[in-house]
Structure 1
């Protein structure tokens, strides 16, 4: 929600705050000028942004309040050496917010700053970072490393296998209920997972893991995957996406990976696996339920198609939106 910025008009208070904001500030100082409109986490990030800008201005011996467009451009150029576009954008917005609340003109609106930010947006966002692809080798190593006789390890392997074979997002995994996971087996172990209108037949190995999870957890209805405490007790509520993130973080640590697995790793791995099997991009897109061919093309290394597909959806919006 857009915040209502009303500049401070009390001259005595304004002068006091200018002095205060010319050095490093505390969280309470930021809440004071913004009249507590920002959440704790947002305010804390913006305080850190402002303090970083103050340190830069002091090092360059330039004024922070009001700052010049030249100083802001120099600061942005320094940030580009180590920061992503999204972080730099937040930095600049924080500087803009402080200036506007204190009644100064917004330096980020200067034409040269706008052009620089648009240029950064195109250069830094033109191509997404590729997630580390999950592979069968990763899964086999995890099963050899973790004790899947324990509830948490068994659950985590079941999560990773299911996400990989169904190209699931974290939210879709968390939303799975017992009704979505069907045992089709008669003489052999065979489970399938329904996502929307799509049905995914799990491999025999994954079906066995899922079956063992159901038996061990005693889950017969409601969410399939739930919390497991350190004593092996199974919770009632479904997992949230943060819990799934931690599953992949622990998996990365167990595998000793320098570039960690993430919630996108199963989808990236599924795309690569299907491509290796000779599936077409259209078939891969349908399997992973992607609305656009951009990401599956990116995952399988067809960057030309990925870039063209993104251009179809990308609109040239002002950077500060």
Structure 2
């Protein structure tokens, strides 16, 4: 947990409490509260989580800031009916953060709240499911129909499917990719420079990316951009929801059951499974996918024992778990 300075001035504190006692749509308020120590995506998650809690408190005619242990307990109980364990943990983090920043007692540290979260940790320990795996055979089937496509959206989407799978790109890495990050060899093969990593692409992915750069007339700036309904390529980069729709489309094009939905995480999951099936070690996969620990690639590969062992290295026992 990051060390965030609390609001020490009493009048400023009261004004902030009033602000956070009503739904907030401006992330800037959160940036100020947390002294700019979190990313934009994290601040957005904080905002949404807190607004959910506020709505619940309003329905119960209860005070949200400071919140009672009882109301936090009831909130977690209600959200547990439809949310996964990761969401419940995030709610606890958000509620606790807001209270600590305002120098108020943190209800989430109370034994009652800790115990209820521990109960759901046991009940929901197996509710986390990996994103559906987007694998090489999926890409090859899509290549049969899209490798020579001419419509901008088709060309762009195939390039995204190709390089996100081959380079095991995170969504944030794809959206941040610019022309300046590309090295094009005389042979036509492309190398992506992602932070300090150089990632070489195959002929298939290199050609797909080259075709997109040509058809999209992308000469500088973000590589992957939004396309309007008329097929015009804009200047704005894709966001995470756009990438989700691109991979949702891949599933539709492949005729995959709606029970199996691809997302922006799917190519990393699929690449891990393919590499693991080919005999590549988890540590080598970790290096190739730029993970900080082997935990996630182990989970994606289905090595639950390895995943649990790695996770345990980073998790400290809470007082109620001792």
TM-score, with structure 1 as normaliser:
0.69
Q: C-alpha distance in 1, partners of 2:82/2:236?
A: 40
Q: Is the 8 A contact 1:92 1:108 kept in 2?
A: yes
Q: Deviations over 1:121-170 (max 9, x none)?
A: 46646885312111123224444566831001111110111011011111
Question: Match of 2:113?
Answer: 113
**75-84 or 158-167: bigger deviation:** 75-84
Q: C-alpha distance in 2, partners of 1:106/1:173?
A: 38
Q: Unaligned stretches of 5+ in structure 1? A: 8-27, 100-104
Question: Match of 2:246?
Answer: 247
Question: Match of 2:276?
Answer: 275
Q: Deviations over 1:240-270 (max 9, x none)?
A: 3333233223333434442321221111111
Q: Is the 8 A contact 1:185 1:191 kept in 2?
A: no
Question: Match of 1:82?
Answer: 82
The verdict on how the C-alpha distance between 1:132 and 1:30 changes in structure 2, with shifts beyond 3 A counting, is same
Question: Match of 1:309?
Answer: 310
Q: C-alpha distance in 1, partners of 2:47/2:136?
A: 43
Q: C-alpha distance in 1, partners of 2:200/2:47?
A: 47
**41-50 or 78-87: bigger deviation:** 41-50
Question: Match of 2:164?
Answer: 163
Question: Match of 2:204?
Answer: 205
Question: Match of 1:130?
Answer: 130
The verdict on how the C-alpha distance between 1:94 and 1:293 changes in structure 2, with shifts beyond 3 A counting, is closer
Q: C-alpha distance in 1, partners of 2:205/2:94?
A: 48
The verdict on how the C-alpha distance between 1:43 and 1:311 changes in structure 2, with shifts beyond 3 A counting, is closer
Once the two structures are superposed, the pairs formed by residues 163-182 of structure 1 within 5 Å of their partners are 163-182=164-183
Q: C-alpha distance in 2, partners of 1:43/1:196?
A: 29
Q: Is the 8 A contact 2:53 2:75 kept in 1?
A: no
Question: Match of 1:222?
Answer: 221
Q: Is the 8 A contact 2:73 2:116 kept in 1?
A: yes
TM-score, with structure 2 as normaliser:
0.69
Q: C-alpha distance in 2, partners of 1:311/1:2?
A: 29
The verdict on how the C-alpha distance between 1:45 and 1:190 changes in structure 2, with shifts beyond 3 A counting, is closer
Q: C-alpha distance in 2, partners of 1:284/1:94?
A: 33
**226-235 or 121-130: bigger deviation:** 121-130
**249-258 or 44-53: bigger deviation:** 44-53
Q: Unaligned stretches of 5+ in structure 2? A: 11-19, 32-43, 100-104
